[in-house]
């Protein structure tokens, strides 16, 4: 059995020193757990202890154990093999029009960033790396895009980065010159998608997770070799050659009950073969006898041009059980009309779905993968609102 080893990956140009290790991993010569390059980072210490670095991996041809986001508790490690990684990279390139080079703008120890590197290396290119040590900077990213070389040029972003790109004329022009820009890691609001398209950015919305080697559904349609079904409780089930072989040290996990398939925690529907993800099964807000999907409310709020980003959460309420609360980030030069936003949701969704409170924030807390940290935001809003009991918060 292969033994799991930690592979520290830098968040800047020094990452190039690890490319040879990634090539060895993809070939099956090593089995790695990607981690941040800071040995004292709490996230790294948690991963190495939770995923038992130094232990044997129960899949004989395992080459990668990639951590899940851990947003709902202790992280789990999805086991991948050279075959699952190759299947993911090849299906992506086939959908996008052919192999090309990639620019990394995501943390390399998460599946989205790692696959950017592995796709480029499998295609025979040396991936370019944006310097993220001080966070994502759109102007600097524009310069990185200009230096990317290849017959086809790709990158992958999360929605918050796309917002920053669209706020920069230079970054928008640079990204619009790429062959494809994958956007995933979180739902892309329709209004943001439309703005990107209108700016000429070749955006491709992706859906997937660590357990599927990253995105395996593009713009609602599965990649070649992938099938999507809706299982019990409307759960999305993904099947295909890029699906992980299970979780490290968690044999018999029901999510992998059917070999080659993964039962997600997301609720969705299929319309003529196109997948719509409606939210996580455990994210519903029970308020006034109605179960509200945060993603549905977020989609309505995000249609307002004054809203750049928004997240909806449920907070305890003595009368309603939970109250719907929204945190929004204003678009540059705009001030959201709080009452208009509430009316929009009440008319389009339901009066109980309209946020009782809408808080305008400068930014939203993020996890290392670039996703909004809903748990941290819920805690922040609870603290802020409890300090202002009796007065409206807008």
pLDDT per residue as tens digits for the range 115-133: 999 999 999 999 999 988 8
Backbone angles phi, psi at 27, to 5 degrees: -85, -5
Q: Residue 213: CB partners within 8 Å, gap ≥ 6? A: 80, 84, 85, 87, 88, 111, 115, 242, 243, 244
Q: Are residues 253 and 311 in the same domain?
A: no
pLDDT per residue as tens digits for the range 128-157: 999 888 889 999 999 999 999 999 999 999
Q: Are residues 211 and 147 in the same domain?
A: yes
pTM: 0.81
Residue 121, Ramachandran bin (φ over 0: left; ψ between -120 and 50: alpha; else beta):
alpha
Q: Quick one: pLDDT at residue 388?
A: 66
Q: Quick one: pLDDT at residue 175?
A: 98
Domain range for 206 = 5-277
Length of the chain: 394
Domain boundary among 277, 306, 324: 277
Q: Are residues 58 and 182 in the same domain?
A: yes
pLDDT per residue as tens digits for the range 38-61: 888 888 888 899 899 999 999 999
Q: How many domains does the chain have?
A: 2
Q: Are residues 170 and 303 in the same domain?
A: no
Token reading at 231 = 């299982």
Q: Quick one: pLDDT at residue 44?
A: 87
Q: Considering the domain boundaries, does residue 184 fall inside one?
A: yes
CATH number at residue 22: 3.40.50.12780
For 51-147, where are the alpha helices, taking DSSP H only? 82-96, 111-122, 138-147
Q: Considering the domain boundaries, does residue 136 fall inside one?
A: yes
Q: Considering the domain boundaries, does residue 124 fall inside one?
A: yes
Q: Considering the domain boundaries, does residue 301 fall inside one?
A: yes
Q: Are residues 201 and 146 in the same domain?
A: yes
Q: Are residues 227 and 300 in the same domain?
A: no
CATH number at residue 326: 3.30.300.30
Q: Quick one: pLDDT at residue 392?
A: 44
Q: Are residues 166 and 239 in the same domain?
A: yes
Q: Are residues 204 and 333 in the same domain?
A: no
Q: Considering the domain boundaries, does residue 26 fall inside one?
A: yes
CA dihedral 199, 100, 64, 264 (to 10 degrees): 40
Domain boundary among 247, 277, 307: 277
Q: Are residues 99 and 140 in the same domain?
A: yes
Could you identify the residue written with the tokens 């039962």?
263
Per-residue pLDDT of the chain (394 residues; tens, 9 = 90+): 999 999 999 988 899 999 999 999 999 999 999 999 988 888 888 889 989 999 999 999 999 999 986 444 578 999 999 999 999 999 999 999 999 999 999 999 999 999 999 999 999 999 999 988 888 999 999 999 999 999 999 999 998 899 899 999 999 999 999 999 999 987 788 888 999 999 999 999 999 999 999 999 999 999 999 999 999 888 999 999 999 999 999 999 999 999 999 999 898 999 999 999 887 777 788 887 778 888 889 989 999 999 999 999 999 887 778 899 999 999 888 999 999 999 999 999 888 899 999 999 999 998 766 678 888 898 999 888 777 654 444 4
Q: For residue 205, which of 227, 182, 224, 225 has the smallest C-alpha distance?
A: 182
Q: Are residues 74 and 97 in the same domain?
A: yes
Q: Quick one: pLDDT at residue 152?
A: 98
Q: Are residues 65 and 205 in the same domain?
A: yes
Q: Quick one: pLDDT at residue 359?
A: 94
CA 43 to chain centre: 17
Q: Quick one: pLDDT at residue 389?
A: 53
Q: Are residues 227 and 373 in the same domain?
A: no
Q: Considering the domain boundaries, does residue 391 fall inside one?
A: no
Q: Considering the domain boundaries, does residue 394 fall inside one?
A: no
Q: Considering the domain boundaries, does residue 392 fall inside one?
A: no
Domain boundary among 277, 293, 321: 277
């Amino acid at each position: 059995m292969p033994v799991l080893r930690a592979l520290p990956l830098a968040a800047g140009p020094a990452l190039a020193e690890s490319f040879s290790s990634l090539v060895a991993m993809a070939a099956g010569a090593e089995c790695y757990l990607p981690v941040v390059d800071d040995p004292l980072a709490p996230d790294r210490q948690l991963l190495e202890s939770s995923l038992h670095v130094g232990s044997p991996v129960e899949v004989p041809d395992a080459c990668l154990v990639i951590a899940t986001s851990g947003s709902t508790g202790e992280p789990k490690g999805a086991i991948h093999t050279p075959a699952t990684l190759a299947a993911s990279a090849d299906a992506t390139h086939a959908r996008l029009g052919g192999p090309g080079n990639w620019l990394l703008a995501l943390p390399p120890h998460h599946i989205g960033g790692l696959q950017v590197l592995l796709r480029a290396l499998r295609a025979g290119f040396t991936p370019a790396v944006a310097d993220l040590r001080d966070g994502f900077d759109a102007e600097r990213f524009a310069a990185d895009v200009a230096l990317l070389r290849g017959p086809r040029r790709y990158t992958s972003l999360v929605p918050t980065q796309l917002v920053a790109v669209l706020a920069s004329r230079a970054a928008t022009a640079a990204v619009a010159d790429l062959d494809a820009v994958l956007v995933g890691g979180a739902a892309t609001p329709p209004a943001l998608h439309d703005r990107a398209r209108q700016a000429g950015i070749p955006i491709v919305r992706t859906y997937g997770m660590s357990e599927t080697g990253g995105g395996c559904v593009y713009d609602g349609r599965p990649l070649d070799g992938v099938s999507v079904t809706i299982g019990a409780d409307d759960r999305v089930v993904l099947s295909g050659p890029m699906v992980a072989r299970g979780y490290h040290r968690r044999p018999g996990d029901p999510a992998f009950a059917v070999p080659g398939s993964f039962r997600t925690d997301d609720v969705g529907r299929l319309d003529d073969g196109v997948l719509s993800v409606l939210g996580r099964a455990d994210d519903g807000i029970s308020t006034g006898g109605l179960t509200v999907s945060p993603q549905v409310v977020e989609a309505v709020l995000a249609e307002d041009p004054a809203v750049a980003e928004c997240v909806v959460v449920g907070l305890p309420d003595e009368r309603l059980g939970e109250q719907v609360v929204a945190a929004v980030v204003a678009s540059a030069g705009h001030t959201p009309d709080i009452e208009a936003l509430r009316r929009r949701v009440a008319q389009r969704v339901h009066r109980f779905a309209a946020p009782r409170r809408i808080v305008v924030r400068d930014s939203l807390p993020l996890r290392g993968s670039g996703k909004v940290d809903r748990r941290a935001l819920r805690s922040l809003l609870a603290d802020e609102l409890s300090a202002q009991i009796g007065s409206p918060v807008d």
